[in-house]
């Protein structure tokens, strides 16, 4: 986008086709026809809970709120020991902020403990829930980890522009965001969205937040149909594809085949990655690494 006025004009336009075309053009200039996706195995945050890790998983994600600092560290150790080659991610940065406050330790100290236990990336940072957005995101990188994605927990307004401009400004300050998932994780009952709203929101996110490499859509949360449309209006990465390939409908109904078909139907090239955004080969082995420097800055010293 050239000016804030241009973005504001688009936000108030009902011409979703023109907005989508502009967003798709920007997406293609950055990524070509390539669309990345990651197969995720979700495991509970409870210590001792089963760790199911399908061989196809490129990411094992610890989902939920840890009960204590010690429990969080122990759970990471359990998952890391069972993860094999899969990347271990976990937790919401907002929940870790609250946990560090309850435990009376710095966020950085908590993050460093989790990293030492085997956590590679914090799974998400809900921009609308963080207490100190810039500092907390920077602490992730200073602790030697990376942030998998910036998310939105629950949109408080039908107008996405203030939030999108805030995210673009945040990236100018921290310069470490690799992916932004603009659609809210929870529906706001006072301001429910429609498919039209969601598609427009994705397109505006690509146009306004043009300094974050990837605009992401969640396959499991929003479903294959919306995800496919989102790929034609600016999104270039699909999160949370199931890693389970054994399904009752046979191989053609397996999640891997379904995501590939949907991406191809959107006129793009499906490329599988892992939780680090490393590109995987046909058998799940590492191929060409996708921009390893993006999403992390060199470690630096900083007082707590």
Please write the tens of the pLDDT for every residue from 116-148: 999 999 999 999 999 999 999 999 999 999 999
Give residue limits of the domains in the chain. 4-289
Confidence of residue 251 (pLDDT cuts 50, 70, 90): low
CB atoms within 10 A of CB 262: 21
pLDDT of 179 > 70? The answer is yes
From the list 199, 189, 130, the residue with the least C-alpha distance to 160 is 199
Distant-in-sequence, close-in-space partners of 25: CB < 8 Å, separation ≥ 6: none
pLDDT of 68 > 90? The answer is yes
d(CA 214, CA 284): 22
Instruction: Tell me the residue ranges of DSSP E strands in 127-268.
Output: 146-147, 150-151, 179-180, 214-218, 237-242
CB atoms within 10 A of CB 150: 27
**Contact in structure between 160 and 11 (CB atoms under 8 Å):** yes
User: Phi/psi zone of residue 286: left (φ > 0), alpha (ψ -120 to 50 degrees), beta?
Assistant: beta
Q: Which of 59-63, 199-203, 227-231, 281-285 has the lowest mean pLDDT?
A: 281-285
Q: What confidence score (pLDDT) does residue 88 get?
A: 98
The predicted model gives 268-275 an average pLDDT of 97
d(CA 171, CA 108): 20
d(CA 232, CA 23): 8
pLDDT of 176 > 80? The answer is yes
What does CATH list as the number for 4-289? 3.20.20.70
Instruction: Tell me the residue ranges of DSSP E strands in the chain.
Output: 34-44, 59-63, 87-92, 121-126, 146-147, 150-151, 179-180, 214-218, 237-242, 269-273, 278-280, 286-289
Contacts 24+ apart (CB under 8 A), 192-195: 193/155, 193/158, 195/226, 195/229
**Contact in structure between 30 and 43 (CB atoms under 8 Å):** no
Q: Which of 25-29, 86-90, 191-195, 294-298 has the lowest mean pLDDT?
A: 294-298
pLDDT of 2 > 60? The answer is no
Confidence of residue 304 (pLDDT cuts 50, 70, 90): very low
Give the tens place of pLDDT for each residue, 36-64: 999 999 999 999 999 988 989 999 999 99
Chain mean pLDDT for the chain: 89
Burial class (CB in 10 A: 0-12, 13-18, 19+), 161: middle
Q: What is the pTM of this model?
A: 0.90
């Amino acid at each position: 986008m050239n000016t804030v006025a241009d973005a504001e004009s688009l936000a108030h336009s009902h011409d979703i086709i023109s907005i989508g075309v502009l967003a798709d053009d920007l997406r293609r200039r950055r990524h070509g026809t390539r669309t990345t996706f990651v197969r995720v195995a979700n495991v509970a945050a409870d210590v001792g809970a089963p760790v199911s890790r399908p061989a196809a998983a490129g990411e094992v994600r610890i989902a939920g709120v840890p009960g204590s600092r010690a429990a969080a560290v122990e759970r990471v150790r359990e998952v890391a020991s069972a993860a094999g080659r899969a990347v271990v991610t976990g937790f919401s940065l907002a929940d870790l902020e609250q946990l560090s406050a309850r435990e009376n330790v710095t966020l950085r100290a908590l993050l460093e403990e989790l990293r030492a236990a085997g956590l590679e990336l914090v799974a998400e940072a809900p921009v609308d829930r963080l207490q100190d957005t810039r500092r907390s995101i920077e602490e992730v990188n200073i602790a030697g980890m990376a942030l998998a994605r910036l998310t939105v927990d629950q949109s408080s307004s039908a107008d996405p522009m203030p939030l999108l401009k805030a995210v673009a400004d945040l990236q100018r300050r921290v310069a470490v965001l690799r992916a932004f998932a603009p659609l809210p994780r929870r529906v706001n009952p006072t301001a429910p969205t429609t498919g039209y709203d969601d598609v427009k929101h994705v397109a505006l996110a690509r146009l306004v937040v043009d300094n974050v490499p990837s605009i992401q859509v969640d396959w499991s949360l929003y479903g294959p149909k919306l995800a496919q449309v989102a790929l034609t209006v600016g999104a270039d990465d699909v999160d949370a594809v199931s890693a389970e390939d054994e399904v009752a409908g046979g191989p053609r109904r397996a999640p891997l085949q379904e995501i590939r078909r949907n991406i191809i139907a959107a006129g793009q090239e499906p490329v599988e990655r892992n939780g680090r955004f490393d590109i995987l080969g046909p058998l799940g082995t590492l191929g060409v690494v996708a921009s390893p420097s993006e999403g992390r800055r060199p470690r630096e010293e900083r007082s707590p």
